[in-house]
Amino acid sequence: MRLLRALHGLVGLVALSGVACDERGGAAPTRPAATTGATGATGATRTRDLASLIDAATLGEPPPRGGDLLADIAGFTTLDACIHERSGFDPVLGDAILALGYDAFARDACRVLEAAKTKSREPCRAISVTSLRKHCEAVFAVHTGDADACPEELTGRGREATCLALARRDVRLCAGELDSRRARCEAIVTGTRARCAQSREGIAACERDVERWRAMLGSAKASSKTEAPVASFNVYVPGGDAGASVLRPLGSTDLGVSRGTLVVIDKATGRRRVEFGNLTEGAIPIGVREPSLRVVVDLGAEADAGKASATVRLAVLAIPGRAVTAPPAKSSFTLKATKLELERGGILDLEIDGTAGEGPEQLACHVQVKTFVRDVVVREEAVRRR
């Protein structure tokens, strides 16, 4: 039963990472798959077979008992001893695992405990299945309290929010999680089983996770939840009576800040930036149906929030029926920063006013954003000259 439940959690990410396309729409990289007992089977066939097997076997069954992850880590001695102790599952299930080509399942599962016990990420790197490798990285990060070791959610989106919240023991960071996963995150961090009643991922599975992580996490920080992020964007365009500007409100959008934002640090210069808007980097804003925006704010190189500065580095405006205004078009923006807390869970409260373009095509806009810092990441050339 424990093996079935563990495999069930791997199916979705195995399919995304190993055989089809990744979340960004490109071909996903694959690792060499074990072939024992699976000669002639394709990766897609293995994944479909695995999904069918697990769905049929666990239909209507409760999750396995949670146990104590911290005790499991403490009891780890050697990889071989762990494999010997934990690989004695039912022969029928063993046949199925070998037929699916994952003959290293027990070894990879034990590598999770090895990484945490030895406080080394090397065992995680040896795991062949992406989802289990990320789980290994998350367990290592939470056990060592090293949030920087949490696995990436998606390229360019920062680290997994639940891992960050657990590693920091800070329930505020659960606000960076998807709506469907937020209640589970809050329940685990706070050790509150009652919070699982709102979990969209299953109450029993959530309660199991609360039990499994409880001893490792101890008491979460006594911090309140973050306020719900807010954003507004108004554009003023020429064309009213006597040439007066006409207000064009954006409508309902969160400008990409509903789950917080990233503070990106340039590895070479140490300069920081945040960006927000409903236009992504590299997007070609042609035929937009509503006023659209992308703003990059340079936060300077100071780590101290009291000394941090904020200036608009880049602004792109796209209005239905009008030419896109972006550099090198003439523009002028001013920024008022009420709060600049450049750490995970910190608050960013900004107002931006400005104009873009010239003459009859000039646009004016007012942007207000209040959100929190979901993650802080270091990248090569994060702030590029434009």
| Shared-domain flag, residues 128 and 245 | no
**CA distances in angstroms from 154 to 24, 29, 122, 315, 350, listed in the order given:** 8, 14, 21, 24, 26
- 282 part of a folded domain: yes
Q: Do residues 68 and 212 lie in contact, with contact meaning Cβ atoms separated by under 8 Å?
A: yes
Residue 73 CB partners (closer than 8 Å, separation 6+): 113, 116, 117, 143, 216
131 and 237 within one domain: no
- From 159, 176, 191, give the residue that closes a domain: 159
Q: Please say which residue of 159, 188, 215 terminates a domain.
A: 159
Let me know if residue 95 belongs to a domain. Answer: yes
Question: Are 136 and 258 in a shared domain?
Answer: no
Same domain? 279 vs 148: no
Does 319 map to a domain? Answer: yes
What is the value of pTM for the model shown?
0.74
The answer to whether residue 328 is domain-embedded is: yes
Q: Residue 232 pairs with which residues in a beta bridge? A: 368
Which pLDDT does position 342 carry in this prediction? 87
> 153 and 36, same structural domain?
yes
Please list the ranges in the chain whose pLDDT falls under 50. Answer: 1-41, 43, 46-59, 222, 251-252, 305, 382-386
Looking at the structure, tell me whether residues 238 and 356 fall in a common domain: yes
Q: Residues 133, 274: one domain?
A: no
State the pLDDT at residue 329: 61
Please state the separation of Cα 220 from the chain's center in Å.
21
Q: Reduced to 3 states, what is the DSSP secondary structure of residue 167? A: helix
Under the phi-then-psi rule, with left for phi > 0, alpha for psi from -120 to 50, and beta for the rest, what region is 231? beta
Q: Are residues 149 and 11 in the same domain?
A: yes
Among residues 123, 143, 159, which one ends one of the domains? 159
Residue 181 is assigned to a structural domain of this protein: no
pLDDT at residue 98 in the model: 83
Instruction: Count the neighbouring beta carbons within 10 Å of the beta carbon of residue 154.
Output: 10
- pLDDT per position as a tens digit, 299-328: 888 555 456 678 888 887 777 766 666 665
The token pair at 160 is 């997994």
Q: Cβ-count burial of 289 within 10 angstroms (0-12 exposed, 13-18 middle, 19+ buried)?
A: exposed
List the domain range (segments joined by +) for residue 326: 230-379
State the Cα–Cα distance between residues 37 and 58, nearest whole angstrom.
24
Q: First and final CA of the chain: distance in angstroms?
A: 56
**What is the DSSP track for 18-41?**
HTSB-TTSSBPP-PPPP-TT-TT-
> Number of folded domains in the chain?
2
Residue that the structure tokens 């959100």 belong to: 371
pLDDT at 47: 46
Distance CA 72, CA 164 (A): 22
pLDDT at residue number 144: 96
Residue 235 and residue 340 in one domain? yes
Vertex 359 angle, CA 355 and 365, to 5°: 20
168 occurs within a structural domain:
no
Q: Largest Cα–Cα distance of the chain, in whole Å?
A: 84
What is the pLDDT, as a whole number, of residue 221? Answer: 53
Whether omega before 328 lies within 30 degrees of 0, making that bond cis, reads yes
Note whether 236 and 128 are same-domain residues. no
Same domain, 139 and 249: no
User: Does residue 245 lie within any of the structural domains?
Assistant: yes
Q: Do both 249 and 105 map to the same domain?
A: no
- The first and second tokens of residue 322, run together, are 């009008």
Kindly state whether residue 305 falls inside one of the protein's structural domains: yes
